[in-house]
Amino acid sequence: MYHPLIGISGSVDKEETQSFIMRSYFKRLTDSGAIPLLLSPDMTPEQVEQCAKQLDGLLLAGGNDVDPALFHEEPIPQLGEVNPIRDRIELLLVPAFLRAEKPILCICRGIQTLTVALGGTLYQDLPSQFTAGALENHSQEPPYSTPTHSVKVAPGTAFALIAQADMLQVNSMHHQAVKDVAPGLTVCARSESGVIEAVEMPGKPFVIGVQWHPERLTDPASLRLFGRFVSVARENRC
């Protein structure tokens, strides 16, 4: 069986000496039948275009905050660490993989990057900016394999077909979240108090972003999310 090649955009440390990825992304992709490859954050636009053509899919992983300048806001005091190297490469990767019609799975920071890349906005910090009702705990302590809040799945979405449930129990390690959904994206899950927890791009074979960390969960819906991503990546190639 063909093992699709999945490019992963990883983290760059503060000192800008290391590119790295949490092993749980590698492990879940490998276990799902893919071959994950960590991408260089220093590629030129031309190199990114070639990646999008030759790889079978893109995973945008978790990490630090997205620079609010990218959605035309001043930083608030509660903004966390940002990284211009990572912001730059991901804002090249998203449109290139979309143009190439390749599947994209966006996790945590990934849903935020996808949103900003397509013209949406973020809450820079949920606890200080999300005022629409009581908040669930979106910043849980380890172990991250334990769900901490529920999400309501929007019926009729591609994600609902994968989730096969009206509600999911998810983990939560984020203080930012999608505020204004980007044009072309649809909300497919929200927390009880209305925080956007998943989006998708209708009309594409697989462009899904989730605010939680399915690579750390072992419930059937999380396994199916990776399974579907990898099978779409394989179908594209074969």
| Binding positions for Mn ion, rule: CB under 5 A | 138, 172
In angstroms, give the least distance from the CB of 184 to Mn ion: 23
In this structure, what token pair is assigned to residue 211? 């605010």
CB of 126 to Mn ion, least distance (A): 8
Residue 12 or 107: the one with the smaller Cβ distance to Mn ion is 107
Nearer to Mn ion, 24 or 236 (CB): 24
CB of 86 closer than 8 Å to CB of 136? no
* Closest CB 191 distance from Mn ion, rounded Å: 6
In three-state secondary structure terms, 191 is strand
213 included as an active-site residue: yes
Residue whose C-beta lies closest to Mn ion: 172
On whether the CB atoms of residues 225 and 210 are closer than 8 A, the answer is yes
3-state secondary structure string, 34-48? CEEEECCCCCCHHHH
Q: Residues 106, 108, 175, 200: which is the catalytic one?
A: 108
Distance CA 45, CA 6 (A): 18
Known active-site residue 215: yes
How many other β-carbons are positioned within 10 Å of the β-carbon of residue 143? 8
Active site residue 141: no
Cβ closer to Mn ion: 138 or 228? 138
Q: Which residues belong to the active site?
A: 108, 213, 215
